[in-house]
Structure 1
Amino acid sequence: MSTQVLGAKLGRSHTHISRWENGKLTPSEADAGAVLGILGITGDERERLLQLAKDAGDPNWVAPGIDRQLAALTEYERTARTITDVQPLLIPGLLQTADYARSIMIGAGTTRGEADRRVTFRLGRRDVLTRRNPVELVAVIGEQALRYPPCGREVMLEQLHHLAKWAELDNISIHVIPLDHGYSPALEGPFVLLEFDRAKPVVHLEHFRSSTTITDASDIKDYQAAADTVRGDALSADLTTALIKQIADDMERVR
C-alpha cells in the first residue's frame, strides 16, 4: 500500500505518512491503531505493536518481561547502523554461542525448554551481523568476562574460539579492557548504544527481569562520551584477538 493510499484512508497527507516511516515523527497510539486496522493486523500482534507505540511516547521507558525486551531490542538491532555493546562481565549477546547463552539463562532460573526457545531466537538475531548490508558492531568486553566465565570450561573454550572468528569480519570490532586498567565507565555497568541512519540514537540497558530504553538527548550524549572513553580504555583489535587466543590456549593446557 502506497503512502498516498494509506494517507487517504487515514485522512493524512502522504508526506505525513513518510515522516512516520523515516522516523521524523512518532505516530500516536491512536494513529498506530488506525494503521493496524487498515492493514488487517489483529490479535496478539496488534496488541504487541500498540504497546510499542504507547511506549514510544515516553522519552525513557522500562520494559518488564522478556518478550517485550526482545521485541524492542530486536527492532533496534535490525535498523541500526552501528551498535556499540559494552559488557564488563559477559560476552555481548550477539556474539554468544548457543551453549554459552543457554548456560547463563539456566543459571538465572530459566527452564531448559524456555532457554532453548530463547537461544534459538538469539541466534536468529545474529543475522544482522552477516546479512548483505550488515550492522557495524563494536564490542567492548571486560577481561573479567574472558577469564571468569559464568559457564563450564568447555563451553567457554568454544566461546573464545568463536570470538576469534567473529573478529575476522570487517564489520565487527572486538576490544578488551584489561584487568589492570583501573577505573573505566564500563565498571558502572553494561550498556548498548544503537545509532541509526534516519533516527536518533538510543541506549539499551538490560536488568535482571526488565530493560530500560533511553532516548533523552542529553543522556545519549553522556553515553556516547562513555562509549568513546571505554574504546580508548580497551586494547586494539589486534591485541584483543591475541589475548583471546592466549586465554584459549591457557584453558586448553589445563583441560
Structure 2
Amino acid sequence: MPTRRAVTGRSREPRARFAEELRSLRTRRGESLRQLGERLGWDWSLFGKMENGETLGGPEVVEALDQYYGTPGLLLALWELAINDQTQFRERYRRYMALEATATSLWHFAVSVLPGLLQTPAYAREVLAAGGLKGPELEQQVQARMGRRTLLDGDDAPPFRTILSEAVLRTPLRDAAAWREQLEYLGERVERSGVILHVLPFCAGPYGLDSTDVWFLRVPGGRTVAYTENAYRGELIEEDGPVERMQRAYDAVRDLAWSPAESRKFVLRMLEEVSCDPTT
C-alpha cells in the first residue's frame, strides 16, 4: 500500500515546485518520458512540457499521475496552487494545501457550506460561481476540487470528521435535482468507513465557532495545525496555544451536535423533503 509522503523540494514558486515534484517522482522510478506516456496513455511530450514548466496540464492527467505514483491528492494540490498562484492562494493557504495532502487525520466544522471534500460537481460549481469565478477558470476549479476528493479514498485515506451547522443542510442549491444529488452523495460518503458526520442543530443555541469554518489537520509526527476561513480570507494557525484553544471549542461544539447515527437520519429526512417537493 503506498504511503503518504511529505512535500519536499527547494523551490517556493508553485509552478516550479510542481514541475520539480513531477521530475523527482519519475526519475526515482527510473522511467523515461516515453515509458511514462506509454503506461498512462498520454503523449509523452505532454509530460516533458509539464516537467519543464511549459504547461501545467489538466486535472485529469494530474489525477492519473497521483494514482500512478501513489501520492493521493499531493500532485493535484500542487497543481491547484500553481494555477491559482496569482489570484486567490496566499502563502498560508499554499502551506495549508501541502499539509492537507499529507495529513494523517482531519477534523472540520462548517458554518454555511459543505466542505470541498464532500461536494458534488454541481454544488462546487454553484458555490464557486457565487464567489465570482466563471468560464474556464470556474471549470478548472471545479475539476480540481473534485480531484481533491480522492484524498478520502483508498485504504490509506486519513480519517475525516466533519460537524455541519444545520444551516449548511438548510441552504439548498437553486437546482432541486442537483441538491438532491448532493444530499444523496453526502449520505453515501458517511456510510463509508473513515468519514464521520455530525449535524449541529439550531436548537443547540450559541456556540464557540459560530463565525467561521475551521479545519484541524494532524500531520506526520503527531502535531496538529488549524486553518480558519471565511468568504474573504483564510488563516493558518500553527502555534500550540491557539490551536489547543480552538480544539477545546471544537470539542464543545461536538458535544452539542447530534450523534453520527442521528445526523445520518437528518440527512435522509432532508432528502425525503426534496424528493417530495412538487416543483422537482
Whether TM exceeds 0.5 here: the answer is yes
**Of 151, 154, 173, which residue of structure 2 is paired with 1:128?**
151
Query: CA–CA distance in 2 between the matches of 1:47 and 1:250?
Result: 45
Choose which of 65, 82, 107 in structure 1 pairs with 2:105: 82
CA–CA distance in 1 between the matches of 2:132 and 2:207? 31
Q: TM-score, normalised by structure 2?
A: 0.67
> Over the residues paired in the alignment, what is the CA RMSD in angstroms?
2.9
Q: Of the two structures, which has the highest relative contact order with CA contacts closer than 8 Å and spacing of 6 or more?
A: 1
* Equivalent residue for 1:228, pick from 228, 232, 251: 251
The counterpart of 1:96, out of the listed 119, 139, 146, is 119
- Provide runs of 4+ in structure 1 moved above 6 Å: none
Residue in 2 aligned with 1:190? 213
Rounded Cα–Cα distance in structure 2 between residues aligned with 1:115 and 1:129: 23
Match of 1:245 in 2: 268
* Aligned-partner residue type, residue 247 of structure 1: M
Q: Deviations over 1:97-148 (max 9, x none)?
A: 1110110111111113211101111111112100330111101001111112
Q: Is it true that 1:143 corresponds to 2:166 in the alignment?
A: yes
Alignment of 1:150-229 (within 5 A): 151-198=174-221, 200-229=223-252
Note if contact 2:212-2:230 (Cα within 8 Å) is conserved in structure 1. Answer: no
CA contact (8 A) 2:129 2:138 kept: yes
Q: Which residue of the partner structure matches residue 138 of structure 2?
A: 115
* 2:212/2:229 contact within 8 Å kept: no
Q: Which stretch of the first structure deviates more once superposed, 131-140 or 143-152? A: 143-152
Q: Deviations over 1:143-178 (max 9, x none)?
A: 111112354322221111111000111100011001
- 2:147 alignment partner AA: G
% identical aligned pairs? 22
C-alpha distance in structure 2 between counterparts of 1:42 and 1:177, whole Å = 40
Shift of 1:250: 0.6
Q: Secondary structure at the match of 2:108?
A: strand
For 1:53, the equivalent position in structure 2 comes to: none
Post-superposition Cα deviations, 1:211-243, rounded to whole Å, max 9, x if no partner, equal 210111110001111121111111111111111
Q: Letter of the aligned partner of 2:165 in structure 1? A: G
Aligned-pair CA distance for 1:197: 3.4
Counterparts of 1:215 and 1:43 in 2: how far apart (Å)?
A: 21
Distance in 2 (CA, whole Å) between partners of 1:72 and 1:159 is: 29
Aligned residue for 1:8? none
The verdict on how the C-alpha distance between 1:199 and 1:109 changes in structure 2, with shifts beyond 3 A counting, is same
Determine the structure 2 residue equivalent to 1:66. Answer: 88
Contact 1:64 1:211 in 2 (8 A): no
Output the CA distance in 2 between the equivalents of 1:199 and 1:48.
29
8 Å contact 1:22–1:198 — kept in the other structure?
A: no
Give the match's secondary structure for 1:188: coil
Residues 43 and 104 (structure 1 numbering): CA distance in 2 closer, same or farther, change over 3 Å? closer
Under a length normalisation based on structure 1, what TM-score does the superposition of the two structures give? 0.73
Q: CA deviation at 1:194?
A: 0.9
CA distance in 1, matches of 2:263, 2:181: 17
Q: Hey, what does 1:26 align to over in structure 2? A: none
C-alpha contact (below 8 Å) 2:213/2:230 kept by paired residues: no
Name the residue aligned to 2:15.
44
The one-letter code sitting in structure 2 at the alignment partner of 1:149 is P
